[in-house]
């Protein structure tokens, strides 16, 4: 039972354009969401997060949007750069369940020069 | 900067061997975690710990055990390694419920 789903295994965009990575969840108890980026042979690094009391959070080129009614979040990267090429994981946690950060399957982003 | 280190980047073990994966964090975090990453499955939680000598099962604890004798150190033990435990193992620490700080990972191959 995959509670957090990233339905696109891969995405390819041109440098300078927008990258949009999507994530869907099924558990209505999730109230905190995070995005991580992972390069090959390295551990994931935190990118950006959003609480369910917000619908948008922005940090430089990265913006996360949360649509609670649709149980959907997305990560926008504008403008995309070749160094953004990596695997992106979304993750979610439920209030009162601190150990259970549930990760999606990951989306591999390739940004072409 | 938070630093999480893992004892090995690459390991090759034989079926049936006992395997120890060590993880150390230097930020005095209460929480530590072990995940495995497999293609198409994302990161799955094996075990976690909120305090010294405390452990809780994650989603896939079967075939694994853990030890946390000191706050900064969290060990993952494969009691009898099997080929289906070939994977990337990631240790993480966290000061709170959300953000995890990950180590570089250990690529374990069981032959």
For the stretch A8-27, pLDDT in tens is 999 999 999 999 999 999 99
Which of B 1-60 lie inside 8 A of A, CB atoms? Answer: 4, 9, 31, 33, 35, 40-45, 48, 50, 56, 58
Report the distance separating Cα A68 and Cα A73, nearest Å: 8
Q: Is B88 on the interface with A (CB under 8 A)?
A: no
B64 touches chain A (CB under 8 A): no
Q: Is A98 on the interface with B (CB under 8 A)?
A: yes
Instruction: Identify which of A9, A43, A98 has the shortest CB distance to residue B105.
Output: A43
Tokens of A89: 């994981």
Q: Print the SS3 string covering B83-105.
A: HHHCEEEEEEEECCCCCCEECCC
- Can you give the pLDDT of all 111 residues of chain B as single tens digits? 669 999 999 999 999 999 999 999 999 999 999 999 998 899 999 999 988 988 999 989 999 999 999 999 999 999 999 999 999 999 999 987 678 999 999 999 999
B57, with CB counted inside 10 A (0-12, 13-18, 19+), is: middle
Map residue A84 onto helix, strand or coil. helix
Q: Which residue has the tokens 């997060």?
A: A49
Q: Judge: B104–A41 Cβ closer than 8 Å, yes or no.
A: yes
């Amino acid at each position: 039972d995959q509670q957090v789903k990233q339905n696109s295994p891969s995405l390819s965009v041109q440098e300078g354009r927008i990258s949009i990575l999507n994530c869907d969840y099924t558990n209505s108890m999730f109230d905190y969401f995070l995005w991580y980026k992972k390069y090959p042979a390295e551990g994931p690094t935190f990118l950006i997060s959003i609480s369910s009391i917000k619908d948008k959070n922005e940090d430089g080129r990265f913006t996360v949007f949360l649509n609670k009614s649709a149980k959907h979040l997305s990560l926008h990267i504008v403008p995309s750069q070749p160094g953004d090429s990596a695997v992106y994981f979304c993750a979610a946690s439920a209030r009162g369940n601190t150990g259970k950060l549930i990760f999606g399957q990951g989306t591999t982003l390739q940004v072409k020069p | 900067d938070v630093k999480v280190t893992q004892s090995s980047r690459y390991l090759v073990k034989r079926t049936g061997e006992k395997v120890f994966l060590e993880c150390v964090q230097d930020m005095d975090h209460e929480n530590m975690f072990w995940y495995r990453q497999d293609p198409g499955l994302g990161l799955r939680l094996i075990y976690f710990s909120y305090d010294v000598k405390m452990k809780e099962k994650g989603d896939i604890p079967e075939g694994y055990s853990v030890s946390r004798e000191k706050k900064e150190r969290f060990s993952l033990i494969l009691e009898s390694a099997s080929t289906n435990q070939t994977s990337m193992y990631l240790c993480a620490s966290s000061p709170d419920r959300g953000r995890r700080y990950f180590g570089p990972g250990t690529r374990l191959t069981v032959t």
